[in-house]
């Protein structure tokens, strides 16, 4: 029977999902009140018609526990999520449980006393849960991770074969990647195709995430951003060579990374492991073309971390769940129970079954993921998915949010070629010192 990934979960702003507490959350700072009878919780989500994880976790939890109703409230996607959530928390209208999409604003939420202490939940989780320590502050945990994505290189095996270019083998540096992108583009042009060798989306992550993770002694709180220069030089060279769409083309035409790779407009694409679920679903629905694809490790800064006998270095923030401290006291235990499930084995297996990378990453989870119809099962894809050192894109610090906003301005200036790389870096360093107080 063909497996269908449940991407479509409705377009209503609020979706009622039936869940129940499993009674394993524990207590923190004294006894936690428990409601006598059914409990209704609210949970923040986004892009509900395209994002499967909220419904999936709800259904899996409901199979075990039928007494707690969770209403999933749809928030804006992208950067607007945190803007809207911050406003609702201040107004007292935020959901009982909300998602921390990445680590960028964790310090802001925690220091603003907008997260409940969930150390009791964290203490019961597998200590190898990816990103668990990232949510610790002042000796306590204020959220738990349920996803831990890592960035890999997706590639279209059919396009590589058509171009007569050797496929990735796990040994690539960024220079190897860049040369391959150019070789592919040349071959496509010779065949009259408009496809490019690679596609880089407009996010600052696509350059800065790798630079921060792979560069020795790189740090956001040092006000020394020279480590970004070689990564931007390489990307601008790819743009100039026509081996990837220009930043201006991507932003002006609002190009979608799902469409660029899924309709074979690009043979390669660096992207997070979350994209696997989307590609599987879109190939199943016909939104994406049918073609053979694979995952390779992200290209590396140098050969010291290349090859399948080494551990490649990449980046990716965990995605966590926290509890709004304004929650009614009698609902706290039910909310903690849901967090424990989402971050534990039950949630991990449920997420792996739809191609999402959970925070709890066990051998059985990897096997579940690779048992899905449509997932490539070659050795390199398994290696890329299961073997990597994943460093945070947003190391937790008081200055992180401000610095990342400054570096996003740098990204726009450099990629649009309105400011030379060195000048943009110098400006960012000056702003980091004056606006974020570092340096």
User: Same domain for 90 and 176?
Assistant: no
CA dihedral over 201, 202, 203, 208, signed as positive or negative: positive
Instruction: List residues bridging with 99 in a β-sheet.
Output: 321
Q: With respect to residue 124, please indicate whether it lies within any of the assigned structural domains.
A: yes
Q: With respect to residue 379, please indicate whether it lies within any of the assigned structural domains.
A: no
- Interatomic CA distance for residues 260 and 289, integer angstroms: 11
pLDDT at site 27: 36
User: Same domain for 68 and 84?
Assistant: yes
Q: With respect to residue 9, please indicate whether it lies within any of the assigned structural domains.
A: no
User: Same domain for 310 and 259?
Assistant: yes
**Which ranges constitute the DSSP H helices of 246-397?**
247-252, 257-262, 275-285, 332-343, 345-352, 363-370, 379-386
User: Same domain for 51 and 175?
Assistant: no
- Interatomic CA distance for residues 251 and 308, integer angstroms: 36
User: Same domain for 142 and 196?
Assistant: no
Q: Are 130 and 364 in contact (CB under 8 A)?
A: no
The structure tokens listed for 29 are 């700072």
Torsion angle, alpha carbons of 209, 210, 211, 215, to 10: 120
Other beta carbons within 10 Å of 290: 10
User: Same domain for 66 and 79?
Assistant: yes
Nearest to residue 141, comparing CAs of 320, 390, 379? 320
Q: 159 lies in which domain range? A: 151-315
Q: Are 45 and 358 in contact (CB under 8 A)?
A: no
DSSP summary character for residue 168: P
pLDDT at site 21: 35
pLDDT at site 376: 95
pLDDT at site 35: 60
Q: Are 227 and 211 in contact (CB under 8 A)?
A: yes
User: Same domain for 197 and 207?
Assistant: yes
Beta strands of 133-211 (E only): which ranges? 136-137, 140-141, 144-148, 151-156
One pLDDT digit (tens) per residue for the chain, 439 residues: 222 333 333 323 333 333 333 333 333 333 444 566 788 889 999 988 778 888 888 888 877 878 988 888 999 988 899 999 999 999 999 999 999 999 999 999 999 999 999 999 999 999 989 999 999 999 999 999 999 999 999 999 999 999 999 999 999 999 999 999 999 999 999 999 999 999 999 999 999 999 999 999 999 998 899 999 999 999 999 999 999 999 999 999 999 999 999 999 999 999 999 999 889 989 999 999 999 999 999 999 999 999 999 999 999 999 999 999 999 999 999 999 999 999 999 999 999 998 899 999 888 988 999 999 999 999 999 999 989 999 999 999 999 999 999 999 999 999 999 999 999 999 999 999 999 988 7
User: Same domain for 300 and 289?
Assistant: yes
Q: With respect to residue 409, please indicate whether it lies within any of the assigned structural domains.
A: no
- The sheet with strand 151-156 has its strands ordered as 268-272, 151-156, 293-296
- Interatomic CA distance for residues 98 and 133, integer angstroms: 19
Mark which of 296, 315, 334 sits at the end of a domain: 315
User: Same domain for 174 and 303?
Assistant: yes
Q: With respect to residue 105, please indicate whether it lies within any of the assigned structural domains.
A: yes
Q: With respect to residue 434, please indicate whether it lies within any of the assigned structural domains.
A: no
Mark which of 315, 340, 370 sits at the end of a domain: 315
Mark which of 260, 291, 315 sits at the end of a domain: 315
CATH number for the domain spanning 115: value is: 3.40.190.10
Give Cα separations from 31 to 39, 113, 276, 400, 427 (angstroms).
18, 20, 42, 35, 52
**Which ranges constitute the DSSP H helices of 65-173?**
80-91, 106-111, 119-123, 157-163
User: How many domains does one find in the chain?
Assistant: 2
- Interatomic CA distance for residues 245 and 238, integer angstroms: 9
- Interatomic CA distance for residues 238 and 200, integer angstroms: 10
pLDDT at site 60: 83
- Interatomic CA distance for residues 121 and 189, integer angstroms: 55
User: Same domain for 346 and 285?
Assistant: no
Q: What is the DSSP string of 270-309?
A: EEETTHHHHHHHHHHHTSS----EEEEPPPBSSGGG-STT
pLDDT at site 34: 57
Q: With respect to residue 119, please indicate whether it lies within any of the assigned structural domains.
A: yes
pLDDT at site 62: 77
User: Same domain for 158 and 32?
Assistant: no
Q: Are 356 and 277 in contact (CB under 8 A)?
A: yes
> Helices 421-435 & 229-241, crossing angle to 10 degrees?
140
Q: With respect to residue 1, please indicate whether it lies within any of the assigned structural domains.
A: no
What would you measure as the largest C-alpha separation in the chain, in angstroms?
Answer: 71
User: Same domain for 353 and 214?
Assistant: no
């Amino acid at each position: 029977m063909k497996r269908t990934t449940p991407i479509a979960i409705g377009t209503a702003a609020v979706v009622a999902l039936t869940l129940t507490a499993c009674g394993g959350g524990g207590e923190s700072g004294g006894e936690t009140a428990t409601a006598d009878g059914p409990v209704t919780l609210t949970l923040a989500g986004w892009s509900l018609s395209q994002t499967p994880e909220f419904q999936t976790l709800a259904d899996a939890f409901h199979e075990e526990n039928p007494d707690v109703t969770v209403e999933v409230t749809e928030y804006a996607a992208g950067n607007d999520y945190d803007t809207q959530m911050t406003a609702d928390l201040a107004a007292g209208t935020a959901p009982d449980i909300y998602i921390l999409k990445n680590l960028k604003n964790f310090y802001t939420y925690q220091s603003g006393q907008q997260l409940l202490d969930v150390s009791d939940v964290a203490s019961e989780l597998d200590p190898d849960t990816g990103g668990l320590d990232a949510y610790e502050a002042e000796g306590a945990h204020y959220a738990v991770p349920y996803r831990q994505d890592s960035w890999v290189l997706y590639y279209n095996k059919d396009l590589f074969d058509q171009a007569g270019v050797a496929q990735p083998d796990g040994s690539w540096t960024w220079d190897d990647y860049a040369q391959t992108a150019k070789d592919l583009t040349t071959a496509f042009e010779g065949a009259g195709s408009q496809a490019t060798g690679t596609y880089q989306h407009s996010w600052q992550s696509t350059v800065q995430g790798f630079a921060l993770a792979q560069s020795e002694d790189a740090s956001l709180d040092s006000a020394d951003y020279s480590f970004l220069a070689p990564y931007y030089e390489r990307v601008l060279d790819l743009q100039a060579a026509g081996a990837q769409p220009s930043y201006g083309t991507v932003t002006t035409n609002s190009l979608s990374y799902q469409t660029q790779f899924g309709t074979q407009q690009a043979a390669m694409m660096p992207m997070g492991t979350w994209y696997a679920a989307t590609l599987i679903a879109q190939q199943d629905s016909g939104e994406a073309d049918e073609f053979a694809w694979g995952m390779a490790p992200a290209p590396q800064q140098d050969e010291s971390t290349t090859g399948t006998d080494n551990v490649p270095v990449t980046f990716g923030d965990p995605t966590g769940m926290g509890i709004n401290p304004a929650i009614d006291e009698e609902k706290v235990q039910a909310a903690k129970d849901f967090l424990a499930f989402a971050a534990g084995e039950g949630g991990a297996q449920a997420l792996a079954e739809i191609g999402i990378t959970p925070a709890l990453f066990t051998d059985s989870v990897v096997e579940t993921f690779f048992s899905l119809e449509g997932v490539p099962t070659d050795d390199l894809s398994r290696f890329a998915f299961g073997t990597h050192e994943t460093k945070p894109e947003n190391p937790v610090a008081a200055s992180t949010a401000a610095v990342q906003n400054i570096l996003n301005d740098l990204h726009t200036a450099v990629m649009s070629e309105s400011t030379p790389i060195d000048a943009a870096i110098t400006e960012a360093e000056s702003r980091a010192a004056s606006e974020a107080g570092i340096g």
